[in-house]
Amino acid sequence: MSNIISGKVLSKEIREEVKVQVEGLKEKFNKVPHLVVILVGDDPASLSYVTAKERACLRAGMKSTLIRKDDSITEEALLALIHELNEDPDVHGILVQLPVPKHIDDNKVINAIKKEKDVDGFHPLNVAAVHLGQEGILPATPKGIMTMLKSTNTEIKGKQALVIGRSNIVGKPAAMLLLKEHATVTIAHSRTTNMKELALKADIIVAAVGRANMVTADMVKEGAIIIDVGVNRVDGKLVGDVDFDAVKEKASFITPVPGGVGPMTIASLLQNTVECFLMIEDK
Ligand code: GUN
């Protein structure tokens, strides 16, 4: 029987901390962090994510603007909008919700955002900083994962960590952050042939593949810590990448879906927005 790491509870604590911090910033700088979120198109899942981000910003006392663009917007026009926001002294964070329509090169979008306003931590200079162990903006989901791991008070140093998934948004940066904490890190992915063997050796598993119930109880070592990043819809119900009910009987700690990593991503985004504000205002 495992302990459940509640992203809901932990993220609420962080959001409260950020709120207090924002009150202090308002006193000191006479302004609050302003996040601008750009949503291209009307994908319902993306819309619900950006609405949640906007609401969290406002609740933390920050300013938030959602700019919605039709999915016919040209790449040139989107890049011009980003450049405009880069130069706007009233804007501290810029987030373009991904994916963008196919006719727009997402790398060009990511590269266009000024590093100091890159609340997602997706700009190559921020990615490089994470890889080099230097100061930089950490991507929100891996940052939230590390906060959850640290909340267990378990030592990460020397542990075997398996990250399943190699996306630029989650898998790769999560692996780098675990490495920074001195874990022995393995990255598995869709072409890995010995997944069960690797999983059974792992003290920490981060599942970020996007396949419902992919991590089953027979793959998990007794006492392992399981972080489930998956968001899959099965028969209208949200489920993660981990077979939660069975795996929780073996894990020492496990994150639920929903109410796990998801809320932590938003809390980390708020922290990143404050960091960007300070980089710009506190020179
Ligand atoms: N789409 C899915 N997750 C994310 C995220 O963390 N940031 C952005 N910009 N788009 C996403």
Same domain, 147 and 90: no
Does some domain include residue 38?
A: yes
pLDDT tens-digit readout, 97-148: 999 999 999 999 999 999 999 999 999 999 999 999 899 999 999 999 999 9
Exposed/middle/buried for residue 155 (C-beta within 10 Å: 0-12, 13-18, 19+) = exposed
Of the pLDDT bands very low, low, confident and very high (cuts 50, 70, 90), residue 72 is very high
Q: How many residues does the chain have?
A: 283
Residue-range definition of the domain harbouring residue 95: 30-115
pLDDT of 6 above 70: yes
Section 9-16 average pLDDT: 98
pLDDT of 283 above 80: no
- Cα-to-centroid distance, 50 and ligand 1 (Å): 9
Percent of the chain with pLDDT over 90: 99
Does some domain include residue 269?
A: no
pLDDT of 1 above 70: no
pLDDT tens-digit readout, 168-181: 999 999 999 999 99
Please state the domain count of the chain. 2
Does some domain include residue 121?
A: no
Atom of ligand 1 nearest to the CA of 120: 7
**What does the block give as tokens for 133?**
């162990």
Distance separating alpha carbons of residues 183 and 194, to the nearest angstrom:
20
Q: Whose CA is nearest to atom 3 of ligand 1?
A: 98
Distance separating alpha carbons of residues 188 and 196, to the nearest angstrom:
10
Q: Which residues are catalytic?
A: 53, 97, 120
- Cα-to-centroid distance, 60 and ligand 1 (Å): 20
Same domain, 147 and 205: yes
Judge if the beta carbon of residue 40 lies within 6 A of ligand 1.
no
Same domain, 154 and 255: yes
- Cα-to-centroid distance, 197 and ligand 1 (Å): 31
Same domain, 246 and 161: yes
pLDDT tens-digit readout, 85-98: 999 999 999 999 99
**What does the block give as tokens for 15?**
């959001």
Does some domain include residue 281?
A: no
Judge if the beta carbon of residue 125 lies within 6 A of ligand 1.
no
Same domain, 94 and 203: no
Section 245-251 average pLDDT: 97
Section 261-267 average pLDDT: 98
Kindly report the CATH number assigned to the domain that includes residue 107. 3.40.50.10860
Judge if the beta carbon of residue 95 lies within 6 A of ligand 1.
yes
Same domain, 108 and 176: no
Q: What angle do CA 55, 58, 63 make, to 5 degrees?
A: 125
- Cα-to-centroid distance, 98 and ligand 1 (Å): 5
How confident is the model at residue 2, as a pLDDT?
78
Judge if the beta carbon of residue 118 lies within 6 A of ligand 1.
no
Judge if the beta carbon of residue 98 lies within 6 A of ligand 1.
yes
Distance separating alpha carbons of residues 266 and 270, to the nearest angstrom:
6
Does some domain include residue 72?
A: yes
CA contacts within 13 A on the Cβ side of 67: 16
Distances (CA, A) of 210 to 166, 172, 228: 11, 15, 10
Same domain, 58 and 156: no
Same domain, 166 and 255: yes
Does some domain include residue 190?
A: yes
**Structure pTM?**
0.97
- Evaluated on CA atoms 266, 271, 273, 274, the torsion sign reads positive
Q: Whose CA is nearest to atom 8 of ligand 1?
A: 97
> What mean pLDDT, rounded, does the chain reach?
97
